Amino acid sequence: MEHGYILSILYEMALVIGGEVSVKPLLIKTLQRLLYHTSFPAGFVCLGVPSSAADAEGMLEVRLDAAVGDYELAGLIGQTVRLPAQLLRGTAERGEDAALLAALPDKVRRHKAYLRLPIDGQGVVVLLAPQLPDTDLPLTQLFQPVMANLAKAILLCRYHDAYAGGLIAARDASQLALTASEDKFRAISAAALDALIMVDDSSALVYWNPAAERILGYRADEVLGKPLHQLLTPQRYQSNAVQGFNAFRSSGQGAVIGKTIEIEALHKEGREIPVELSISALKLNGRWHAVGILRDISERKHAEQELRLLAAIVESSDDAIVSKSLDGLILSWNAGAERLYGYSAAEMKGQPLSLLAPADRPDEIPDMLARIRRGEQIKRYETVRLRKDGVQLPISLTVSPLRDAAGQVVGSSAIGRDITERKQAEEELRHSETSLKEAERIALLGNWELDLATNVMSWSDEIYRIFELDPKKFGASYEAFLNAIYPDDRNLVNQAYTDSVKNRTPYDIVHRLLMPDGRVKYVNERCETFFNEDGKSLLSIGSVQDITTRRLAELGMQKSNRALHALSTCNVALVRATDEIQLLNDVCRILVEIGGYRLVWVGFVEYDAGKSVRVLARAGAHADYLDHARITWGDTPEGQGPTGTAIRSGEFQVAQDILHDPKYLPWREQANVRGYASSIAIPLFDDNNRVFGAMNLYGREPNAFDADEIKLLQELARDLAFGIRVLRLRVERDHLHEQQQHNDETVKQALVGTIQAIAVTVEKRDPYTAGHQRRVANLSVAIAMELGLSEDRITGLRLGATIHDIGKIYVPAEILTRPGQLSPMEFEFIKSHPQVGYDIMKDVKLPWPVAEMILQHHERMDGSGYPRGLKGDAILLEARILTVADVTEAMMSHRPYRPALGLEAALAEITQYRGIYYDPAVVDACVHLFRDKGFSLSG
């Protein structure tokens, strides 16, 4: 190994170690470079390995100062760990010892090899690897100088860390003290109610506390550095203020320094505010500063102003306003008192108040004075006083204690008002109120008042009766009123009242009340609000009339009409329905749209493990309710709801109040948020009187289903079940019909196929007539089309013609194929083939007279044919066509006993015997085909 190579590594390590000033990065960087150079992937450092003996397991407790490359060890940095003493102690060593390294806190036990490098009395570096990395360098020796260097670096870094730590601690401490002091000042300044302002000797603002912001409107950042006078001093004071400040700048003296003055200051908004200002001088860094404490005295000024105003009001009041000492001597007597009692102020000042007391109330004034002494206020006390002229005057007195600055009661003030007119009015009113109450009771009409100034509400007795509240337990209040309103109607009532006040128009609405026992009442509420001249609302007066009976009757009528309308529309849908699901959806939709129900759905019974109810149709608000509701007809808690119970019992189930029905517990919350207040489930029955589903309806209100409505809905459910059964029958019938048609067609096709197969067999036996039947069939069909036969008849004719010689199956093949003349007996054999063919086909059930066609195809119009010698129309038209086609084709084709005679000979033959042997119309059609339409026999 080259010397230079090793030196270069030492050089680099020395630079790395020398480049660090703190212990932690020093150890990490050194470990990283050691790992880099040695290919060991992990390592750790313990600074200070104790010299004490290891424990029984050979382990030492040491602090782990650094670790790189081992996840578990890296998580233990800074902690005390147990490591094998044998690994930590000893000279530099490179080796493999899996057992020793198994004691490391490495769960995976990955390390098997190590390189120990003691740090010259400062601890140890241990590198770890799964296997010993290859190297040809003497690593233990190589790194000795590095470790020596590291030991010194650790000492230096420790000093540095301690020094830096000390500096930081000292800095932190002084910083803390400074911060605490600043915080304290800031807290005091922030908490101060008075503005604290400081300006320097250039009159620039240098301090501005939160109270200054509050009083003068400027934020600190808006004013700091700006000239004081320009911002805060009203124009009229500016000249003096600037002059005074110029003197202050050099001497710290001034006319207002050390004094408290009342002056006006400019607010940010431009208005002036009265302030009390105390100014003091302060020298900072050799420059004079002025500190001002400024207090907003707007309220005080306002109070003084009000006091003056009050005195004027007292003097000008119509009421008698009198003040007196605690022993009852009159101290003041306003113009109102002069007018009311007839005495002048001069007469009454210094006189006892008892002058005004009637003889029959000797204790009244002493009692009142006693109460005043106790600090009580006497409000609207109604009594009688003697006027100067001896007349007894009914008055209302409000007497209040007068207190000195220390709060001690020193006298009283009394306001007296003449209530003669009111007393008379009250008497009249008392009489009319009795009548009104009786009228209200009869009309179920109550009235209320809301004094908007005091927010005091009052109800008539009838309102308590309508709301079913005990006046002794419930006071008239807006809360009690709101609580009694049906929850869904509260917004309506609130809005009506708010709009009425806003638009200054009376309102007249009908809304519901919810009684504690769940009953609903309907009331007609009217209200009007009165306003003063300034447009301020003063008083709302309203009436509440119980119209429950009338309204229920109306609603019942509406509901019945609606239910009947819904029923009749559903019946129309039932009659017109062609699809079951469509029908169910239509019925649900009609019941929601016309019947006014909030949700309607139909579910069918499923015979699955969970006995579920399958929702087939739904309509209405928040129908997603059904996606979350687990509905079953099983005997489980979820099966105890109306639907499950209706299906199990076969009886309709009503939940008149979902909110309070215990059976509804599993669905209550979801139903409530969707506005379902009541529900009914009605079972649907099949032909065997077995329940196959249920129709479910949800109302918007409790008690939505009365007996009449339930009867109608049951009728509808019966109709719906019937409709479903009819639709199912119809579907079944259509299906059967379709299947029958399909079967018929299949049978027909099979027969035709079989017959055609037979025809081919026949032809195979007689090569000379091979293809004869096919050609005859083609010509027959062409003639029939010419004659305008129906498509179905033509199909039958094609079939008959295709097998018209089927009887030849019994004619020996040698007779059929032998050239030359036939003997009479042989000819008889041949002549038997129509009968034989008929016998073969007569029992085959076909929609066409195929057997007859075969039997008659050798009959002639004049009765000269065989086998039966039929004549004219007695011969089937199809047979007549077949005869002409048979003769024509036979003459045009080669036969064993003769060569082909050709088209002309054939047409000559049928033309010659037209009307004799052959049907003339058929002959004409055949000739027309060949002559005019170019028909040819082929195949």
Q: Which is nearer to another protein, 94 or 808 (CB)?
A: 94
With CB under 8 A as the contact rule, which of the stretches 134-142, 486-494, 498-506, 793-801 interacts with another protein? 134-142
Check binding of 607 to another protein (CB under 8 A).
no
Residue 585: Cβ within 10 Å count = 18
Chosen residue from 21, 103, 120, 130 binding another protein by CB under 8 A = 130
The nearest distance, CB 102 to another protein, in angstroms, is 16
Check binding of 714 to another protein (CB under 8 A).
no
- How many Cα atoms occupy the beta-carbon half-sphere of 233 within 13 Å? 17
Q: Which is nearer to another protein, 46 or 925 (CB)?
A: 46
Check binding of 646 to another protein (CB under 8 A).
no
The nearest distance, CB 15 to another protein, in angstroms, is 5
The nearest distance, CB 9 to another protein, in angstroms, is 5
Residue 895 host element (H or E): none
Q: Which two tokens stand for residue 743?
A: 């079967």
Binders of another protein in range 455-474 (CB under 8 A)? none
Question: What is the distance in angstroms between the CA of the first residue and the CA of the last residue of the chain?
Answer: 107
Q: Which is nearer to another protein, 77 or 211 (CB)?
A: 77
Q: Which is nearer to another protein, 129 or 779 (CB)?
A: 129
Residue 293 host element (H or E): strand 287-296
The nearest distance, CB 71 to another protein, in angstroms, is 4
Q: Which is nearer to another protein, 136 or 299 (CB)?
A: 136
β-pairing, 537-546 vs 678-685, is: unpaired
Task: Fill in the per-residue mask, 60 to 99: x = in contact with another protein (CB under 8 A), - = not in contact.
Answer: -------xxxxx-xx-------------------------
The nearest distance, CB 59 to another protein, in angstroms, is 23
- Hey, which residues does 411 pair with through a beta bridge? 325, 402
Chosen residue from 8, 739, 743, 746 binding another protein by CB under 8 A = 8
Is the Cβ–Cβ distance between 682 and 660 less than 8 Å? no
Residue 466: Cβ within 10 Å count = 22
* Whole-Å CA distances, 917 to 295, 467, 928: 145, 111, 18
Binders of another protein in range 518-537 (CB under 8 A)? none
User: Tokens 């400040």 appear where?
Assistant: 245
Q: Which is nearer to another protein, 36 or 163 (CB)?
A: 36
CA dist 101 and 112 (Å) reads 6
Q: Which is nearer to another protein, 71 or 163 (CB)?
A: 71
Is the Cβ–Cβ distance between 49 and 88 less than 8 Å? yes
What b/e string do you get for 194-203 counting C-beta neighbours within 10 Å, with b at 16 or more? bbbbbbbbeb
Q: Which is nearer to another protein, 14 or 206 (CB)?
A: 14
With CB under 8 A as the contact rule, which of the stretches 1-9, 218-226, 285-293, 927-935 interacts with another protein? 1-9
The nearest distance, CB 133 to another protein, in angstroms, is 6
The closest of 860, 861, 869, 880 to 922, measured between CA atoms, is 880
The nearest distance, CB 589 to another protein, in angstroms, is 37
The nearest distance, CB 97 to another protein, in angstroms, is 18
Order of strands across the sheet that contains 456-459: 456-459, 445-451, 537-546, 520-531, 507-514
Q: Which is nearer to another protein, 67 or 547 (CB)?
A: 67
The nearest distance, CB 22 to another protein, in angstroms, is 14
Q: Which is nearer to another protein, 132 or 564 (CB)?
A: 132
Q: Which is nearer to another protein, 81 or 365 (CB)?
A: 81
Chosen residue from 137, 291, 326, 822 binding another protein by CB under 8 A = 137
Residue 141: Cβ within 10 Å count = 10
The nearest distance, CB 80 to another protein, in angstroms, is 20
The nearest distance, CB 162 to another protein, in angstroms, is 24
**Quick one: residue 600, left, alpha or beta (phi over 0 = left, psi -120 to 50 = alpha)?**
beta
With CB under 8 A as the contact rule, which of the stretches 2-10, 828-836, 901-909, 919-927 interacts with another protein? 2-10
The site for another protein, by CB under 8 A, has a size of: 38
The closest of 886, 878, 884, 859 to 775, measured between CA atoms, is 886
Q: Which two tokens stand for residue 746?
A: 């299949």
Q: Which two tokens stand for residue 132?
A: 């010993």
Q: Which two tokens stand for residue 640?
A: 């105890």
Can you state the percent helix, strand and coil of the chain, rounding each to 5?
50, 20, 30
Q: Which is nearer to another protein, 1 or 188 (CB)?
A: 1
Task: Fill in the per-residue mask, 13 to 52: x = in contact with another protein (CB under 8 A), - = not in contact.
Answer: --x------------x---x--xxxxxxxx----------
Q: Which is nearer to another protein, 116 or 648 (CB)?
A: 116
The nearest distance, CB 69 to another protein, in angstroms, is 5
Task: State CA 871 to chain mean position distance.
Answer: 90
The closest of 241, 235, 234, 238 to 257, measured between CA atoms, is 241
The nearest distance, CB 67 to another protein, in angstroms, is 8
Q: Which is nearer to another protein, 12 or 364 (CB)?
A: 12
Q: Which is nearer to another protein, 1 or 908 (CB)?
A: 1
Q: Which two tokens stand for residue 683?
A: 């079972």
The nearest distance, CB 297 to another protein, in angstroms, is 57
Check binding of 327 to another protein (CB under 8 A).
no
Check binding of 325 to another protein (CB under 8 A).
no
The nearest distance, CB 181 to another protein, in angstroms, is 33
CA dist 906 and 902 (Å) reads 6
- Hey, which residues does 512 pair with through a beta bridge? 522
Q: Which two tokens stand for residue 10?
A: 């030492």
Q: Which is nearer to another protein, 78 or 390 (CB)?
A: 78
Binders of another protein in range 109-128 (CB under 8 A)? 110
Chosen residue from 24, 63, 82, 135 binding another protein by CB under 8 A = 135
Chosen residue from 133, 252, 394, 771 binding another protein by CB under 8 A = 133
The closest of 791, 783, 759, 769 to 885, measured between CA atoms, is 783
Q: Which two tokens stand for residue 688?
A: 């065997």
Check binding of 932 to another protein (CB under 8 A).
no
Q: Which two tokens stand for residue 230?
A: 């320009």
β-pairing, 456-459 vs 507-514, is: unpaired
- Hey, which residues does 195 pair with through a beta bridge? 294
Check binding of 56 to another protein (CB under 8 A).
no
Binders of another protein in range 194-253 (CB under 8 A)? none
The closest of 369, 323, 371 to 350, measured between CA atoms, is 323
Q: Which residues are CB-contacts of 152 (< 8 A; sequence separation ≥ 6)?
A: 120
DSSP string, 680-710: EEEEEE-TTS-EEEEEEEEESSTT---HHHH
- Please give the residue ranges that form the binding site for another protein (CB under 8 A): 1-2, 4-5, 8-9, 11-12, 15, 28, 32, 35-42, 67-71, 73-74, 108, 110, 129-131, 133-137, 139, 142
